[in-house]
Copies of this chain bind each other. A is one copy, B any other.
Amino acid sequence: MSTTDETRAARPAGRPRSARAEQAIIDATLDLLGEGMNIAELSIEAIAARAGVGKTTIYRRWANKEDLCVDALARLKSPLPELRGESVREDLVAYFEVVVRDSCDARRRCVMSIVMNDAERHPRLVERVRQALIEPRREVLAAVLRRGVATGELRADLDLPVVMAALIGTVTWYMRDAGSDGTAESPAGIAERIVDQLLAGLAPTA
């Protein structure tokens, strides 16, 4: 949306350069966030310096830092996982394989950090990121769970808010923990291990 004026402008010769600048600005924003800068620390100055453009080039496209961040983060969104819809277990594994892959990527990881840590100071930005990036995925996951309850693949008495937290929280925590030793690798088959352990439960089947 922010690029409408730019792309409408009848200056064909200028467009490639303009598109390059825009990409450089987006990349600079994502790199700085991915390096651990939070929204408060991020400045238009720093983004301009990293992108090698002037501040006015940024302000020509985005009204403010929040708009730029939301735009930049929205481009990160990896497509929703393709779910085959045949088996709930298979769909959960496919879903979490995408989550695990994303969480190994510093740029994508920052989305979660922002949502988890900047809500108090940047409520509007966090709400926009949540709407654009978190909610659509969450809805896909909730739909898989509802389908599982309907088909009998999952317990009829599932505590849905707890199960959503269990699925997302387990993967997030596991990957954070793995990442905090400096290893950003995901152990092979971790999505499958998590899904199977949660499906089976901790108690022995009596």
Using CB atoms and an 8 Å cutoff, list the residues of chain A in contact with chain B.
Answer: 35-36, 38, 40-41, 113, 115-121, 126, 148, 152-156, 158-159, 161-163, 165-166, 168-174, 176-177, 179-180, 190, 193-194, 196-206
Contacts of A158 in B (CB 8 A): 197, 202
Q: Name 10 interchain pairs, CB-CB below 8 A, sorted by A.
A: A113-B116, A116-B116, A116-B176, A154-B202, A163-B202, A166-B169, A166-B173, A169-B174, A200-B203, A201-B203
Contacts of A198 in B (CB 8 A): 166, 198, 201-202
Contact pick for A117, options B113, B159, B161, B200, CB 8 Å: B113
Contacts of A117 in B (CB 8 A): 36, 38, 113, 117
Whole-angstrom CA separation of A116 from B179 in the bound complex: 9
Contact pick for A201, options B121, B168, B171, B199, CB 8 Å: B199
For chain A, what secondary structure do more than half of its interface residues adopt (helix, strand, loop), or is it mixed? helix
Contacts of A194 in B (CB 8 A): 162, 165-166
Contact pick for A162, options B152, B155, B197, CB 8 Å: B197
A162 & B193 in contact (Cβ 8 Å cutoff): yes
A120 & B159 in contact (Cβ 8 Å cutoff): no
Question: Beyond the given A36-B117, A166-B198, could you list 16 further A-B residue pairs with CB under 8 A, ordered by the A residue number?
Answer: A35-B120, A113-B116, A148-B202, A153-B204, A154-B203, A155-B201, A155-B205, A156-B204, A159-B196, A162-B193, A166-B197, A169-B174, A170-B170, A198-B202, A201-B201, A205-B206
